[in-house]
Structure 1
Amino acid sequence: MAHPPSSAVTGTRQRLLQATEQLIYAGGIHATGMDLIVKTSGVARKSVYQHFPNKEALVAAALQARDERWMQWFIGATSAAVSPRARLLSLFDALRDWFASDGFRGCAFLNAAGEVGDDSSPIVAVSREHKARLLAYVRELTRAAALPEPDEAALQLLVLIDGAIAVALVSRDPAIADSAQRAAARLLLFPPHP
Structure 2
Amino acid sequence: MPAPISEEQKTRDREALLDAAEALFYERGIQAVGMDDIRGAAGIALKRIYGLFSTKEDLVVAVLQRRDARWRGNLTDYVERRDDPQERVLAVFDWLEQWFAEPDFRGCAWINAFGELGATSPAILTEVRAHKQAFQEQLAAWVTAATDAAAEPVYLLAEGAIVSAAITGDTSAARRAREATRTLIA
- Alignment gaps of 5+ in structure 2: 1-5
CA offset at residue 6 of structure 1? Answer: 1.4
Q: TM-score, with normalisation over the residues of structure 1?
A: 0.89
- Alignment gaps of 5+ in structure 1: none
Matched, 1:115 2:110: no
RMSD: 1.3
Query: For residues 16 and 120 of structure 1, what CA distance do their matches in structure 2 show?
Result: 21
Counterpart position of 1:172: 169
CA offset at residue 117 of structure 1? Answer: 2.7
Matched, 1:22 2:23: yes
Q: Deviations over 1:12-57 (max 9, x none)?
A: 1111111111111111110011010100011100001111110000
Q: Which amino acid aligns with 1:62?
A: V
Query: For residues 117 and 9 of structure 1, what CA distance do their matches in structure 2 show?
Result: 30
Query: After the TM superposition, which of the residue ranges 30-39 and 114-123 deviates more from structure 2?
Result: 114-123
Cα 1:141–1:119 shift into 2, 3 Å: farther
Percent of residue pairs bearing the same amino acid type: 38
Q: Deviations over 1:108-152 (max 9, x none)?
A: 00110111132652111111111111011111112211424xxxx
Query: For residues 158 and 75 of structure 2, what CA distance do their matches in structure 1 show?
Result: 12
Checking the alignment, whether the CA contact within 8 Å between 2:164 and 2:173 is kept in structure 1 is: yes
Q: TM-score, with normalisation over the residues of structure 2?
A: 0.93
CA offset at residue 82 of structure 1? Answer: 2.3
Query: For residues 92 and 102 of structure 2, what CA distance do their matches in structure 1 show?
Result: 16
Q: Which amino acid aligns with 1:76?
A: D
SS in 2 for 1:158: helix
Query: For residues 18 and 98 of structure 1, what CA distance do their matches in structure 2 show?
Result: 18
Q: Which amino acid aligns with 2:172?
A: A
Checking the alignment, whether the CA contact within 8 Å between 2:118 and 2:124 is kept in structure 1 is: no
Counterpart position of 1:183: 180
Query: For residues 119 and 165 of structure 1, what CA distance do their matches in structure 2 show?
Result: 24
